[in-house]
Amino acid sequence: MAVYSATYWKGPELWDKQFVSLILTIPIVIFLRYIDYKLWLKIAPYFYLASVVILGATLVISSPIKGAKRWLYIGGFNFQPSELAKLALILELSALISSKKKEWRDLLLFIACLSITLLPFLITALQPDLGTALIFISIFVCIIFISGLNIKYLLSLAILGLISIPLAWDFLLKDYQKERILTFLEPTRDPLGAGYHIIQSRLAVGSGGLFGYGLLNGPQNRLKFIPEQHTDFIFSLIGEEFGFLGAVMVILLFMILFILGLYISFKSDTESGTLIGIGIVSMLCIHMFINIGMTIGLLPVAGIPLPFISYGRSFLIVNMIGIGILSSIGKRRNL
């Protein structure tokens, strides 16, 4: 409904494709529920390697869109390999930790997991897509934390990250990314430029009131004042057209999903199942937190879509596969 409201004036192409993708992925979720999730652990190294190769191919053969090389075009389908790489990273980290935890020292295992994470992180950052790149680090932190490895390694990495902030500012971040951070701190510094997204998004969310304007009736939406309103800023459309109650309903549905996901993960019959489940839940939760945070001005604009709601077929398909794997873990959990 949200994608339809954001794109109906363009014709049926976008929301029609999104709806068809949703319908087609539901049987995939059901099918994956009856596939033992342990099979994913056996193919995890090959899946990870293939996803990294495909991800790296974007830097070579992808055509840039708005200066970023993030998509591959396969038979008229725009595929974003970084989405697949997130799932591959979750499976590979879970497989490596569960199989080597008793054989390797904690430090060696931590370094191996960090190396596996840095590869897709660096490739994605070079696209450039720093927001998605940071998702890889977030997934890594969540899985390592739950795995029981010595927490001092994560703390050391966090301290190193804080120390590296000045270097990242000077050498890693591009000018538009710096401007996004500065605009987050002071949105009025460039109201018609970098601050435009945040200002219009907050206006849309705030103007919705308790019940909203109703589907297709949001002024900011109808007048196309909200950039990327069908992808990164779709939550502002929900706040405008469905109001505070609609926005809270969306957040509550996510909370229910995360609580069920955590329950399934911690009741898994194996450690690997717990790690996979935590990885999938953390991936979805981080996306939701960053997307809603940037929409209402609590976080810098990072180009992170809202799971299951934002337009993006590759994003939707990978998330649904994740739900299918999580369902498989739940089917075999300790009761």
* Burial of 216 from C-beta contacts in 10 A (0-12 / 13-18 / 19+): middle
Please check the confidence at residue 193 and state whether its pLDDT lies above 70.
no
Q: Distance between CA 220 and CA 227 in Å, rounded?
A: 10
What is the average pLDDT value for the chain, to the nearest integer?
Answer: 89
Confidence at 182, pLDDT banded by 50, 70, 90: confident
pLDDT of residue 172: 74
The string of pLDDT tens digits covering residues 31-68 is 999 999 999 999 999 999 999 999 999 998 887 777 77
The most confident of 45-54, 103-112, 126-135, by mean pLDDT: 45-54
Confidence at 285, pLDDT banded by 50, 70, 90: very high
Please check the confidence at residue 335 and state whether its pLDDT lies above 50.
no
What is the domain range of residue 326?
Answer: 2-331
pLDDT of residue 128: 84
Q: How many domains does the chain have?
A: 1
C-alpha Rg value of the chain to the nearest Å:
20
Of 88-102, 181-195, 204-218, 235-249, least confident by mean pLDDT is 181-195
Confidence at 8, pLDDT banded by 50, 70, 90: confident
The pLDDT > 90 percentage for the chain reads: 56
Confidence at 189, pLDDT banded by 50, 70, 90: low
Confidence at 280, pLDDT banded by 50, 70, 90: very high
* pLDDT (mean) for 84-95: 96
The pLDDT > 70 percentage for the chain reads: 96
Q: Distance between CA 92 and CA 46 in Å, rounded?
A: 9
Q: Between 303 and 31, whose confidence is greater?
A: 31
Q: Distance between CA 301 and CA 197 in Å, rounded?
A: 8
The most confident of 82-91, 169-178, 224-233, by mean pLDDT: 82-91
The string of pLDDT tens digits covering residues 155-175 is 998 898 888 888 877 777 777
Confidence at 23, pLDDT banded by 50, 70, 90: very high
pLDDT of residue 190: 65
Q: Distance between CA 139 and CA 269 in Å, rounded?
A: 22
pLDDT of residue 242: 95
CA dihedral (314, 315, 317, 319) in degrees, to 10, reads: 160
Count helices and strands in the chain by DSSP H and E runs:
14, 2
